[in-house]
């Protein structure tokens, strides 16, 4: 046999062996079970196991963060359940991005939302501080109802249920906003404490009120009288301008009302007398000595020893507070400070008139109006 013939036989033999090998591979592949369509995929990148699955036509790849295949299988099973729930409309699918969100980010988003709505007040910021301290560095998806309960239990040692509820309500709002915007799929159940017994007690009679007003600085007297008659919040009263007046009524603008609804009051009786006095006191002297008219119904001038509006009102309120409490109880209240602004309520309080007179002295005076023209 020639050399050419031998080469031809060798090529044919090699081709036959390749066909047989391919046939065996095909047979093995047919025997190997295939994953059903829609059940995702598990694969390795280096030593780490990854998963892949589809959501609304988009392929999502996600690392299990583990070198164990079983961990990837568990993760894939959970993700497929989430995708299925989304398809049924039971729960929105947010994917792995939700697990990277921290509670602090949710609180930041809530602050921005409240700021846009004009509801980000100093009180809100104050109630958010302990919530941030406790939960800001936790992943949102890892926060459980048990963790919130533990926080509440710890806070009860130093705060009232109503104070705690204001903070946890903001935490609830932050999570609800995240769910609404699709950042989270669900939120923990947050307990609300009972506030039974937290209602204010006692009645503040006109004689007690007049005793307090008599001790007030002149520029706060009509402010307090107006609030006593109409029952509006101090911020709403302080916002009133002469542009809100006409011959028959005074109107509170919707943007200055907590309920965001405007109100109107007829000018008659004592209200009319208050407004007339405020018109007469409208003129004021500027720092440069020039005379001008105030745009606001209730305005005051800075005390010479006041370094800020709040500090000035607080100092002005103390004589009225002390004098009114002495008249209604016959005893001098404690001078111990309760927080940054208000004197502490004394242990011997019992009569409703004592509590009413002294609390209104603190609330009406120290809040007052800003030192503005």
DSSP 247-266: SSEEEE-GGGSTTS--EEEE
Q: 220 near 278, Cβ under 8 Å?
A: no
Residue 327 confidence (pLDDT):
44
The size of the chain, in residues, is 373
Q: How far from the centroid of its chain's Cα atoms is residue 27's Cα?
A: 64
**pLDDT (tens place) for every residue of the chain, 373 residues total:** 555 555 555 666 766 676 677 666 656 655 545 555 567 888 888 888 888 888 777 788 888 888 888 888 888 888 788 778 777 776 666 667 777 889 999 999 999 999 998 889 899 999 999 999 999 999 898 899 999 999 999 999 999 999 999 999 999 999 999 988 888 877 899 999 998 877 666 666 788 888 888 888 888 889 889 988 888 888 888 889 999 998 889 999 988 887 888 889 898 999 999 999 999 988 888 888 898 888 899 886 433 323 334 444 555 555 555 555 544 443 333 333 233 333 333 333 333 333 343 444 444 443 443 334 4
* Location of each CATH 1.10.150 domain in the chain: 99-180
To which residue do tokens 């780490």 refer? Answer: 48
Query: 99-180 adopts what CATH topology?
Result: DNA polymerase; domain 1 (1.10.150)
To which residue do tokens 């031809």 refer? Answer: 8
Residue 30 CB coordination number (10 Å): 8
Residue 26 confidence (pLDDT):
59
CA dist 198 → 51, 151, 164 (Å): 54, 21, 13
Interatomic CA distance for residues 242 and 212, integer angstroms: 27
Q: Could you tell me which CATH number the domain at 206-367 has?
A: 1.10.443
Q: Nearest 5°: CA angle at 250, between 246 and 255?
A: 120
Interatomic CA distance for residues 159 and 154, integer angstroms: 9
Which residues is 61 bridged to in the sheet? 52
Q: Report phi then psi at 12, rounded to 5.
A: -65, -40
Which uninterrupted H or E stretch holds 241? none
């Amino acid at each position: 046999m020639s050399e050419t013939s031998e080469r031809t036989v060798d090529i044919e033999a090699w081709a036959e062996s390749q066909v047989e090998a391919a046939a065996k591979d095909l047979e093995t592949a047919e025997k190997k079970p295939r994953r059903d369509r829609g059940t995702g995929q598990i694969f390795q990148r280096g030593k780490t196991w990854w998963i892949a699955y589809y959501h609304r036509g988009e392929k999502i790849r996600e690392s299990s963060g583990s070198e164990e295949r079983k961990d990837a299988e568990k993760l894939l099973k959970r993700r497929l359940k989430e995708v299925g729930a989304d398809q049924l409309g039971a729960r929105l699918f947010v994917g792995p991005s939700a697990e990277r969100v921290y509670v602090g980010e949710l609180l930041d988003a809530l602050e921005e939302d409240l700021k846009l709505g004009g509801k980000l007040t100093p009180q809100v910021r104050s109630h958010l501080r302990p919530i941030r301290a406790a939960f800001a560095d936790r992943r949102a998806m890892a926060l459980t109802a048990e963790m919130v309960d533990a926080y509440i239990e710890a806070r009860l040692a130093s705060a009232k249920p109503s104070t705690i509820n204001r903070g946890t309500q903001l935490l609830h709002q932050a999570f609800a906003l995240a769910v609404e915007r699709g950042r989270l799929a669900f939120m923990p159940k947050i307990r609300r404490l009972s506030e039974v017994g937290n209602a204010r007690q006692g009645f503040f009679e006109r004689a007690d009120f007049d005793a307090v007003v008599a001790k007030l600085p002149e520029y706060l007297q009509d402010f307090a009288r107006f609030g006593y008659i109409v029952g509006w919040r101090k911020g709403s009263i302080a916002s009133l301008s002469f542009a809100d007046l006409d011959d028959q009524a005074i109107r509170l603008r919707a943007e200055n009302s907590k309920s965001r609804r405007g109100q109107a009051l007829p000018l008659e009786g004592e209200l009319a007398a208050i407004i007339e006095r405020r018109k007469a006191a409208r003129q004021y002297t500027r720092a440069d000595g020039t005379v001008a008219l105030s745009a606001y119904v209730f305005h005051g001038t800075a005390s010479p020893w006041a370094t800020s509006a709040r500090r000035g009102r607080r100092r002005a309120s103390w004589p009225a507070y002390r004098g009114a409490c002495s008249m209604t109880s016959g005893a001098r209240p404690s001078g111990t400070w309760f927080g940054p602004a208000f004197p502490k309520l004394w242990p011997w309080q019992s009569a409703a008139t004592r509590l009413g007179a002294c609390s209104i002295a603190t609330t009406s005076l120290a809040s007052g109006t800003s030192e503005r023209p």
